[in-house]
Amino acid sequence: MNNSSPLISCRGISKKYLKGKQEIIPLNHLDLDIDKGDFLALMGPSGSGKTTLLNILAGIDSPSSGTYHFEGREIANLSRRQLTSFRAQNISYIFQLYHLVPVLTAYENVELPLLTQRMSANERHLRVSKALELARIADRADHYPKQLSGGQEQRVAIARALVTDPPLIVADEPTGDLDQESAKTILKLLQGLCEELGKTIVMVTHDPKAARHAKRTLFLEKGVLIQGEANVDY
């Protein structure tokens, strides 16, 4: 961790909602700083608030109270249009089940986030090609998802996350649907994105082996951070 201002600073973040007549509190006055270039693993039992926190960091959900600053900018109070623009410029999400479009090739799936941006076809091609290379899946660019293994599909999803060059990548159980060898490949790839490209990565996982690939691990229980540690074998 460094002494510069954090990329992300959360103070007093709470999330509450009603389920019938019962009040559910997945996050309870949580404080969290994440530096640029950090690789953070979030662990905890089901219902501990991990995915809720991830979705708030990704700008998909908003806290009920508290503040969330990204590079010094308050995010919680942005309008829906401002939030959409903020996400497109700063954050990419990697899902457990890939969320690839089955009728599009790997290349076309990676290209999708760029189609709403103003850029030439040549620049778009260069970005897609570079992202596929970084994710080590360029040799499958013309393949459809059904022609790929689970690990290859996840690499396409990672290339799609990279193509907009976001400072923050959030990943929700990115290896949860993969065999052990494919999972190891994906985790090493994420490590490389952090170490070589300086990407900030926040990963939710239930797997302690996966968490050890991060720089540090934080544990959540009932919406509260109860323990944090640096990963000594990183």
pLDDT given at position 152: 95
Model-wide pTM > 0.85: yes
Distance CA 68, CA 71 (A): 10
Provide the greatest CA pair distance for the chain.
55
pLDDT of residue 21: 85
pLDDT at 19: 83
Instruction: Tell me what percent of the chain is helix, strand and coil, each rounded to the nearest 5.
Output: 35, 30, 35
* CB of 130 closer than 8 Å to CB of 80: no
In this prediction, residue 3 carries a pLDDT of 55
What is 8-229's CATH topology? Rossmann fold (3.40.50)
Supply angle C-alpha 189, 48, 170, rounded to 5: 25
Instruction: Spell out the per-residue pLDDT of the chain, length 234, in tens.
Output: 455 789 999 999 999 988 888 888 999 999 999 999 999 999 998 888 899 999 999 998 889 999 999 999 998 778 888 888 899 889 999 988 889 999 999 999 999 999 988 889 999 999 999 999 999 999 999 999 999 999 999 999 999 999 999 999 999 999 988 889 999 999 999 999 999 999 999 999 999 999 999 999 999 998 888 866 666 554
Question: What is the structure's pLDDT at 223?
Answer: 87
Q: What is the pLDDT of residue 227?
A: 67
